[in-house]
Chains A and B, each alone.
Chain A
Amino acid sequence: MSKKKKRIVYPVVFMLLVTITFTLTLALINEFTKNRIAFNNELKIKKTLLYVLNIDIENNDNEYINKTYDEMIEEAIINDTKVYMASKDNEIIGYAFPIQGDGVWGAMNGYAAITPDYKQLLGIDFVSHSETPGLGGRITDSKYKEQFRYLELESENGIYIIHRPNSGGNVDAISGATGTSEAVRRMLNEDIDVFIEAVGGER
């Protein structure tokens, strides 16, 4: 055995066997859970979209969320821009669109929704971000997000969101997380402007 171990073939074969065993195990586990993980991710996006469009799904199970989503939200193209259109009783209640920007530690991704007349912001939410938990991470707190519900969009040179107490301020920043608040403000101003222009709304 000890002589054999010094040869090159045995370690290579051994490593190969170990690798194959574990790769197979992982592949199997992955195969079994693939659908579930895809389902979870999809569900998360759906929840976010329903939230930004201000459709109440609080404390409801996954089935209800899926059903509500299928009933109320459909993907639509307006002037070559993909939007998620929500309607209730054949009346459009809003458009949701992805937002994206640089945070303090990394990229932030989320969705924002806007009323059909492009005059009010319906809501915003984040899908992923890497801000400091407890500080910048509080952008996902409902207290912060609720500030953007039905926010009047009055543009001055493409600026919609202004932090208080600046003149014309309409949103409170998070204390202790100035960098993150600024990043969110910049991202929203930019993406809302781009979106409204793209769908041809009046700015």
Chain B
Amino acid sequence: MVSKKIKEVFTLGIWKDNPVYRQILGICSALAVTNLMLNSLVMGLGLIFVTAFSELTVSIIRQFTPKHIRMMVQTLIISAYVIIVDILLKAYYPAMSEALGPYVGLIITNCIIMGRCESYAQKNPPLYSFIDGIASGMGYTIVLLIIAFFRELLGFGTLFGFNVMGEAWVSWTLMIMPPGAFFMLGILIWVAYNLFPVDEGGKVKGGATNI
């Protein structure tokens, strides 16, 4: 029973109800950090950490939280975890902290976190909320990695910094620039919609829009 529900949470978060290509959440950071796979991976890990622990905390205190101030509480919780990630990166991984620059702080504006806290953690027990955070974060990370794979490969000829296309490869500059991300994301959403048509009668989650 428990394992079945956990499995369901994972398939929803990563596959059927993927935050990026299904709920169209977290697009701004998906466009911003995907020019290198390593950046995307660290950003994704940061988001998994923040989403999972924010959902856990929100879920634990959900019965004590007055309904009309819950947004305020959620924002506070999320920002606290984002600052923790920022501090940890600065202290133990300065090179990555520099590469991600302002985007670490911008994890807080990622609608996936608030969306999941509001639509899932408010109504479900801590364990499932925590797992839902991990699942949603993984869904986001996987999409980021797919986009970054093509952008880095075509734009730099490398993967995770290792040269795979050989010296003769001519970098496709457009791919590293923001428009490259737009095209890649558009293609990805298109492919996803064609491969797995939206179940019209299905339950649609999420709902918040993002810039």
List residues of A whose CB falls within 8 A of some B CB: 5, 10-11, 14-15, 18-19, 22, 25-26, 29-30, 33, 36-37, 40-41, 44, 130, 132-135, 176
Shortest Cβ distance from residue B43 to the other chain A in the assembled complex, whole angstroms? 13
Contact code string B28-71 (vs A, CB < 8 Å = 1, else 0): 00000001100000000000000000000000010011111100
User: Would you give the 0/1 interface string for B73-108, flagging 1 where the beta carbon is closer than 8 Å to chain A?
Assistant: 100110010011001101110100000010000000
In the assembled complex, which residues on chain B have CB atoms less than 8 Å from the CB atom of A11?
66, 68-69
Contact A134 B61 (CB under 8 A): no
| CB neighbours of B65 from chain A (8 A) | 14
CA distance A5 to B68 in the complex (A): 9
> Does the CB pair B176–A26 fall under 8 Å?
no
CA distance A18 to B79 in the complex (A): 12
Mostly, the A contact residues are helix
Select one of A14, A40, A135, A176 contacting B94, CB under 8 A.
A40
- B residues in contact with A33, CB < 8 Å: 87-88, 90-91
By the criterion CB–CB under 8 Å, are B156 and A134 in contact? yes
**A15–B68 Cα gap in the complex (Å)?**
12
B84: nearest chain-A partner, CB-CB = A29
- Judged by a CB distance under 8 angstroms, whether B177 is at the interface is yes
16 contacts between A and B (CB under 8 A): A11-B66, A11-B68, A14-B66, A18-B61, A18-B77, A19-B76, A22-B77, A33-B87, A36-B92, A40-B90, A130-B101, A133-B35, A133-B176, A134-B156, A134-B176, A135-B177
Decide: A22 and B80 in contact? CB cutoff 8 A: yes
Q: For B35, what are the chain A residues with a Cβ–Cβ distance below 8 Å?
A: 133-134
With a CB–CB cut-off of 8 A, which chain A residues contact B64?
Answer: 14
